[in-house]
Amino acid sequence: MCGIAGIYQWDGKTPDQDRLHRMIQTIRHRGPDGTGVFAEGPVGLAHARLSIIDLSGGHQPMANDDQSLWVTFNGEIFNYLELRQYLVDRGYRFSTTSDTEVLLQMYADKGEDCVKYFNGQWAFAIWDKKRNRLFLSRDRAGIRPLFYTTLRGAFVFGSEIKSIFAHSEVKREIDVEALDQIFTFWCTLPPKTAFQGVYELPPGSSMIVEAGKVTVRSYWKMDYTFQDEAEKSEEEYAGILHDLLVDATRIRLRADVPVGAYLSGGLDSSVIVSLMKKANASLETFSVGFADSEFDESGFQKQAIDYFGTKHRDVFCKEDEIGRIFPDVLWHMEKPVVRTAPAPLFMLSQLVRDARYKVVLTGEGSDEILGGYDIFKEAKVRHFWGRHPESQMRPRLLKRLYPYLPNLQKQSESYLKAFFYVRPDDVNNPFFSHLPRWELTARMKMFYSDEVQSKLGGGSVYKTMEELLPKGFLAWDPFLKAQYLEFSGLLPGYILSSQGDRVAMAHSVEGRFPFLDYRVIEFAAKIPTRLKMKVLNEKYLLKKSFQNLIPETIRKRSKQPYRAPEGKSFFGTHPPDYVMELLSPDRIAQGGLFHPERVQKLVEKFRRGQAIGLKENMAIIAILSTQLLVDQFIHHFEERIAYGGH
C-alpha cells in the first residue's frame, strides 16, 4: 500500500519536480519506505512506498522495458501470480517479482480493460506515452482512494486531498452541497468531496485524461438484477460461500512481510481468523477495548483469542483519549463525520504499526453483502408493518431492533412507532429502508447558518442520490435495495475511508478485506434474500457456512456494530482546549457555516451533561469536525504540512 500523486500539464510543459516532491511528501505517512518522482513531457508522477511485495524491487514510478508506459500504483493485485504466468505464456518478460510490474504489463496487453482481470484493491495512474494519455483507475468496492482536480492548465491527482492542496494553485474552500450530503447520508456522493472543485473517482471506475479532456467510465457496478433462479440447497450455497472465502483469504495472505488480523469478537473477524488458521498463517491479532461497557466487546474477544490460540495485542480506549486525538484523526479523514468511531481505529492501527506489522486482514464488507446490519432488519420489520399499518401486533417487532441502544430500548411502544414511522407512500419510496436514519441525521441541519441555508436554496439531496441509482432499481426486492444503498454509499464513503484506509494508512498499515473479493461480492448478490436474513436472523448463510469453525457463543450472539463514545468524549472534566475554542460563538460566526446561538445552546447542554440523544451526539461531532476541517485545511494548511501534519 502506498501514496500516489501526479500532474498532467495540458499546455505541454513538464511538471516541476519540486512541486511533485512536495505533493508526495505531504502523504509520506502512506509510504514511509521510500519516495520516487518521474517527470517527462507533460506528465509528472510521484510515489511514496509501503513495501509489502518484492521488498528490494518494485520501486515506483515504474516503467516497462521501452519506457513507453509509466505507473504509480497504490494497492495490491492479489491474483498477480496467476496473471504473471498468463503474461509469461504470452511472451512478456519481467525484471521484478512485484505486482506493480504485472499491472503495467497487463495494461500493455489489455489496455484499459486490464482492470477487469484484477482481483485486488487499487488506485493507480499509467502514463501511456505513445497515446499521449493518462489512464487512472480505482477498485470495484472503493477500498483505495483517488482524488483529482482540474486547473486552467493542468490535471492534478493524489491518494489524499492534502497532496492536491500541496499544489499551490489549488484553491481550498468548503463545498456546502457536499456538507449537506454528509449531514444526511454520513458521506458525500461521488464525485463530490468536502472541498469545492476537488473530486473523487467513483468506485469501479476508470478515467482517461488526454488533450485537455477528462472522461470517466464505469467498468463495474453492484448488480442485483440476476438473482439465482436455480434451486440450490442451503448446504450448497453455504459450501460455495465457504470455498470462495477460503480462496479470497488465501490470496490476501500473499506478502513478503507478516500479516496480522483485527479480532473484534464478532462473527466477521472470527470467520477471517478461522480462515487464516486453516491456511496455516501466523495468528497475530489486534483489537480495541473500551472503558465504557456499552461499547466494549473484550469478553467476546477473549473467547475468540482462546478458541483460535492467537498471539494477541489490544489497545484500551478512554473517552478523553478520543477527544485528545480527534484533530489528528480529522486531518487524515479530510471530511466531517457524524461519529467518533474512526478515532479508536486510529489508535488500533498505531498499535499494529508499533508491533512492526504493515498488513492486517479485517471483516469489513460482510454486513453489506450478506445482510448483517440492523438497518436491514429494521427495513424488513417496517415493510412487514407497512403492508398492514393498522395492525397492533406487527409494530411490536420494533422491540427486536437495536438491542445495543439502551436509551432506545427503554422507550414505549408508541414512541418506537413514531420513531420508525411508516407513512402511506413510504413503502414505494426507493429509499424506504434508509428514510428514518437519513431524516434523523438531517435534523442536524437546524444548526446551519442563514447563509448556508440560502446557498442550498432548499434543494433536495435525495434527488442527487436518485440520479445515481442503477437502472431497474425500483423493481428490486426491498431487502436488495437496502443492501445496494449501504454497499454503494456508506461502505466506500465512510466505512472503508474514515474507518478504513485513512486511519490505517495514517500509521502506514494496509487493510485487506476477504469479504470484498469481487467473486464473493458477485456470488452474494445472487444468494436468495431468505438465506441472508432468515426471519430476523442476520447473516444466516455465513453462520451456517462456518458453524463448526468459530466459537458457538460468537456465532449465536446478537449483532453489535462497532461503536465508540461520542459527544461526552469532548466534554469531560478537562475538555481539550480546541473544543471550546472552535465551538465558541466568535469562531462559529467567523466560519459562517453554523448558527452561533443554536450551537452555543447545544454546547451548554453537553457541558451540563444533559445531551444524550442520537441527534445531539451526531450534531456536536458533525459541527466540531467541520470546524476542525476549516481550521486545518482552510486557515492553517501551510503550517500543518510544514510540521509534517502535526
Evaluate whether 247 touches 81 at the Cβ level (below 8 Å).
Answer: no
How far is 631 from 636, CA to CA, in rounded Å? 6
How far is 342 from 344, CA to CA, in rounded Å? 6
Pairing of strands 359-361, 510-512: parallel
Assigned C-alpha cell, 12: 505541454
How far is 75 from 70, CA to CA, in rounded Å? 16
Query: In terms of residues, how long is the chain?
Result: 646
Beta carbons within 10 angstroms of residue 450's beta carbon: 9
How far is 99 from 275, CA to CA, in rounded Å? 24
AA identity, residue 120: G
Mind giving me the DSSP string for 551-562? -HHHHHSPP---
Beta carbons within 10 angstroms of residue 111's beta carbon: 12
Angle (CA) 560 561 567, round 5°: 110
- DSSP letter assigned to residue 533: E
**Any idea which residue has 414505494 for its cell?**
428
How far is 572 from 429, CA to CA, in rounded Å? 42
- For residue 415, the SS3 value is helix
**Any idea which residue has 453492484 for its cell?**
222
Evaluate whether 260 touches 357 at the Cβ level (below 8 Å).
Answer: yes
AA identity, residue 619: A
How far is 569 from 134, CA to CA, in rounded Å? 45
3-state helix, strand, coil in the chain (%, to 5): 50, 15, 35
How far is 60 from 64, CA to CA, in rounded Å? 11
Mind giving me the DSSP string for 461-491? HHHHHHHTSPTTGGGS-HHHHHHHHIIIIII
- What distances in angstroms separate CA 571 from CA 52, 597, 609, 610, one per listed residue? 41, 19, 8, 11
Evaluate whether 546 touches 555 at the Cβ level (below 8 Å).
Answer: yes
Nearest CA among 498, 625, 626 for reference residue 142: 498
How far is 79 from 86, CA to CA, in rounded Å? 11
Q: Where are the alpha helices (DSSP H) in 279-412?
A: 298-308, 319-333, 342-354, 366-370, 374-386, 406-409
Evaluate whether 234 touches 158 at the Cβ level (below 8 Å).
Answer: no
How far is 374 from 366, CA to CA, in rounded Å? 13
Angle (CA) 195 201 206, round 5°: 160
- What distances in angstroms separate CA 276 from CA 78, 308, 546, 549, one per listed residue? 16, 10, 13, 11
Active site residue 2: yes
Angle (CA) 201 207 208, round 5°: 150
Nearest CA among 513, 522, 472, 519 for reference residue 495: 513
How far is 618 from 614, CA to CA, in rounded Å? 6
- For residue 258, the SS3 value is coil
Assigned C-alpha cell, 408: 432506545
Catalytic residues: 2
